């Protein structure tokens, strides 16, 4: 059965991500586009794709199916990031947008993301409706008789377009590019062979790229996720002392990872807090804040101190985007490196947020390390780590069953309260531990935050030993 997880449908290429399954997903998507349009003639959609194996071919197949159902398809003429597709979906007033990508997953995966007309992830209710339509189509069956892309082009139902151009012009209007250029930063950028390749050219004067050539297997990168364990080349290069800032984006460039000028990886918790403080205190912006259950408790402390309304959601930016549509949200995000702000669309965007961080550095006159030191000074030390562990279903069940029995202690740590919004989160004195199954991969994820890495590692190992 095809199931949409925290961020679309993903599967192993030629196993469950096949042309047959994709055709049914695309057909159900066409049904949903027509339903959303209210029966108007020739509703429209936007389609983009990353640089994975067969992504362009899968995108063209999706386009043909939508076109065969009378939908006008704006199809990216090149590799495009997820934020580019989201932005163009809104810009072109399309009913929906679709991205062929498996984001940060290993190279054997591909996937299908769905974007709303508002320029962000389809909401949970939209995905639920799409799944209903998909189930019906797969139950009823369908005979696919498709013409070529060229045929649909001639009929005006498939139109190739440049997904990058209007997106870049929008970014330039929303950020203080003059301040960034005046700071004259030397930046090293690692797009991890993903859709971020070449995106900083023309935006920053002094930028050097790693892993910037097309490689559907991602070269020597295990999987294109901008976390410390996958950024060895970036960290090693920046330690040469030639650069002020290191930025990395994942396979579809909606998430970011950063490295300071001394080669220290800066996690997304700190990035979120730096941008929250910059937007609120320096730019004078106001609005609610949204965080996932896996994000740092520094957010709670800051919002309580400033009287800011805070919303906490399950993991998955679709929950954040839903709130950004309905409420005045200043910033919202998650532990995995994705966040959105009121300056941009209700979508994660690694490029935009990396540039916003550079703007914060330029305007405050502080290095990334100094901005991180400010957080320790204001909130006390907050250290964090996540472990993703491949397990058999039996091993997963053993740990989760033990966790859901709500023990009074995890190792030597007394449990003060628990939260089961997404997985199970244990709160201790100045620390927390979260255990949850991945929504995109066959993994069990363990997250912990505490005042020291010693305590963080102890909590993680106690969690993995639960039985």
Q: Which of these, 253, 205, 128, lies nearest to 362 by C-alpha position?
A: 205
Q: Find tokens 């509703």 and name the residue.
A: 43
119-163 pLDDT, tens digit per residue, is 999 999 999 999 999 999 999 999 999 999 999 999 999 999 999
Sign of CA dihedral 232, 234, 237, 243: negative
**In the CATH scheme, what architecture does the domain 9-163 have?**
3-Layer(aba) Sandwich (3.40)
375-396 average pLDDT score: 94
Measure the CA–CA gap between 258 and 256, rounded to whole angstroms: 7
Res. 40 pLDDT band, cuts 50 70 90 = confident
Adjacent-strand bridge partners of 340: 332
Is residue 379 pLDDT above 80, yes or no?
yes
Domain assignments of the chain as residue spans, ordered by start = 9-163, 168-265, 268-348+365-379, 383-464
Three-state secondary structure of 224-271? CCCCHHHCHHHHHHHCCCCCCEEEEECCCCCCEEEEECCCCEECHHHH
Q: Which of 303, 299, 265 is nearest to 287 (CA)?
A: 303
List, as one string, the DSSP characters of 172-207.
HHHS-HHHHHHHT-EEEEE-TTSTTTTTTBTTBSEE
pTM: 0.94
- State yes or no: pLDDT of 1 exceeds 90: no
Please determine whether the domains at 9-163 and 383-464 fall in the same fold group of CATH: no
pLDDT, one tens digit per residue, over 405-430 is 999 999 999 999 999 999 999 999 99
Q: Encoding tokens for residue 156? A: 């005006």
What pLDDT does 5 receive? 81
Three-state DSSP class for residue 383: strand
Q: Residue holding tokens 């997304």?
A: 268
Q: State the Cα–Cα distance between residues 383 and 455, nearest whole angstrom.
A: 9
pLDDT category at 442 given cuts 50, 70, 90 is confident
Q: What is the CATH number of domain 168-265?
A: 3.40.120.10
**pLDDT level of residue 3 (50, 70, 90 thresholds):** confident
pLDDT confidence band for 438 (50 / 70 / 90): confident
Q: Are 339 and 330 in contact (CB under 8 A)?
A: no
Q: In this structure, how many other beta carbons lie within 10 angstroms of the beta carbon of residue 23?
A: 18
Residue 264 pLDDT level (bands cut at 50, 70, 90): very high
Residue 439 scores a pLDDT above 90: no
CATH of domain 383-464: 3.30.310.50
Mean pLDDT of 85-102: 98
Other CB atoms within 10 Å distance of the CB of residue 256:
26
Was domain 268-348+365-379 assigned CATH 3.40.120.10? yes
Per-residue confidence (pLDDT) for residue 336, from 0 to 100: 86
CB neighbour burial string for 146-167, b if at least 16 within 10 angstroms, e if fewer: eeebeebbeeebbbebebbeeb
DSSP letter at 47 equals E
Nearest alpha carbon to residue 92 among 43, 28, 49: 43
Cα separation, 215 vs 53, in Å, equals 9
Q: What is the rounded average pLDDT of the residues 194-204?
A: 94
């Amino acid at each position: 059965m095809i199931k949409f997880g925290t961020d679309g449908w993903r599967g192993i290429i030629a196993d469950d991500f096949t042309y047959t399954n994709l055709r049914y997903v695309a057909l159900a998507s066409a049904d949903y586009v027509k339903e959303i349009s209210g029966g108007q003639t020739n509703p429209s959609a936007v389609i983009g794709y990353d640089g994975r194996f067969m992504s362009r071919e899968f995108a063209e197949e999706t386009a043909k199916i939508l076109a065969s159902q009378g939908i006008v398809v704006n199809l990216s003429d090149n590799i495009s990031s997820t934020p580019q597709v989201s932005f163009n979906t809104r810009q072109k007033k399309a009913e929906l947008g679709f991205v062929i990508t498996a984001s940060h997953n290993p190279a054997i995966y591909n996937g299908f993301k769905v974007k709303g007309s508002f320029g962000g992830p389809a909401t949970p209710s939209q995905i639920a409706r799409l799944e209903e339509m998909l189930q019906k189509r797969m139950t009823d069956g369908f005979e696919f008789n498709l013409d070529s892309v060229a045929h649909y082009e001639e009929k005006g139902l498939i139109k190739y377009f440049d997904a990058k151009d209007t997106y870049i012009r929008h970014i330039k209007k929303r950020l203080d590019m003059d301040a960034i250029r005046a700071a004259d930063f030397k930046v090293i950028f690692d797009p991890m062979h993903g859709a971020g390749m070449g995106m900083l050219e023309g935006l920053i004067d002094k930028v050097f790229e790693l892993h910037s050539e097309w490689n559907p297997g991602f070269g020597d990168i295990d999987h294109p996720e901008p976390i410390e364990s996958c950024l060895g080349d970036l960290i090693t290069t920046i330690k040469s002392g030639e650069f002020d800032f290191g930025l990395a984006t994942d396979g579809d460039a909606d998430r970011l990872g950063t490295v300071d000028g001394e080669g220290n990886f800066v996690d997304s918790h700190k990035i979120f807090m730096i941008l929250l403080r910059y937007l609120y205190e320096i730019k004078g912006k106001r609005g609610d804040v949204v965080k996932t259950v896996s994000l740092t408790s520094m957010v709670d402390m800051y919002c309580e101190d400033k009287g800011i309304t805070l919303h906490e959601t399950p993991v998955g930016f679709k929950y954040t985007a839903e709130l950004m549509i309905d409420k005045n949200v200043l910033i919202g995000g998650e532990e995995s490196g994705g966040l959105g702000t009121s300056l941009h669309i209700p979508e994660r965007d690694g490029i935009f947020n990396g540039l916003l961080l550079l703007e914060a550095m330029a305007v405050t006159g502080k290095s990334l390390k100094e901005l991180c030191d400010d957080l320790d000074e204001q909130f006390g030390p907050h250290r964090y780590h996540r472990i993703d562990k491949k397990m058999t279903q039996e091993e997963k069940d053993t740990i989760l069953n033990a966790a859901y029995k709500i023990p009074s202690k995890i190792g030597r740590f007394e449990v003060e309260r628990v939260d089961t919004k997404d997985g199970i989160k244990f709160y201790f004195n100045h620390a927390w531990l979260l255990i949850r199954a991945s929504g995109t991969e066959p993994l069990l994820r363990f997250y912990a935050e505490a005042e020291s890495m010693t305590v963080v590692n102890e909590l993680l190992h106690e969690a993995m030993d639960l039985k």
